[in-house]
Amino acid sequence: MGVGTGSLSGQISSFYKAMWMDLPAAATSRLLGGPEKELRSAGWQAYDSWVALANEATNRLYANRTFADFSARVFEATLRWQQAAGQLMGPTMAAAPQSPELPPAEYVVPAPMASGLTRPAGRPAKRRSRRTATQNPADTAQNRETDRAATG
């Protein structure tokens, strides 16, 4: 297909016809007991017309010299950044430990409360264990123990 005005308008009309006329007609026919082959054919026709339209639009876009030069510069810059990042990460990853160990126990800090706020001294927690419809009774007992440990 050439980069002419008739070519793009032809692709648009072909897509419109396939998508908004042929495909709905074939789907209606299939719902009323028509052959599946007709619907499948209309679906492929709509797909092919969409691909042809996208191809023609892309060809016309890249036929514009300014856009083609701009996109070429963007691609080249992206590849240069990718190459530079690869060169920097190669030695960095080689120097990094492959399997870092866990910190010693004396460096582990207890996790803060779920809300992230501390409770004023002398005030008991208002939260109590709640049993949901799907919760196992054993989980409820564990929640109670957890609540006691948090308030104690």
Give 93-117 pLDDT, tens digit per residue: 777 666 666 666 666 666 655 555 5
Sequence-distant contacts of 62-69: CB under 8 A, at least 24 apart = 63/3
In a domain, 152, yes or no: no
Residues 59 and 3 in one domain: yes
Residues 53 and 86 in one domain: no
In a domain, 20, yes or no: yes
Q: Where are the alpha helices (DSSP H) in the chain?
A: 5-17, 23-31, 36-63, 65-95, 137-151
Q: Express each pLDDT in 37-95 by its tens digit.
A: 999 999 999 999 999 999 999 999 999 999 999 999 999 999 999 999 988 887 777 77
In a domain, 78, yes or no: yes
pLDDT at residue number 3: 46
In a domain, 128, yes or no: no
How many domains is the chain partitioned into structurally?
A: 2
| Domain limits for position 73 | 65-94
Residues 88 and 46 in one domain: no
In the predicted structure, residue 152 carries a pLDDT above the cut 70: no
Residues 69 and 59 in one domain: no
pTM recorded for the entire structure: 0.48
Question: For residues 55 and 58, what is the distance between their CA atoms, to the nearest angstrom?
Answer: 5
Residues 71 and 34 in one domain: no
In a domain, 125, yes or no: no
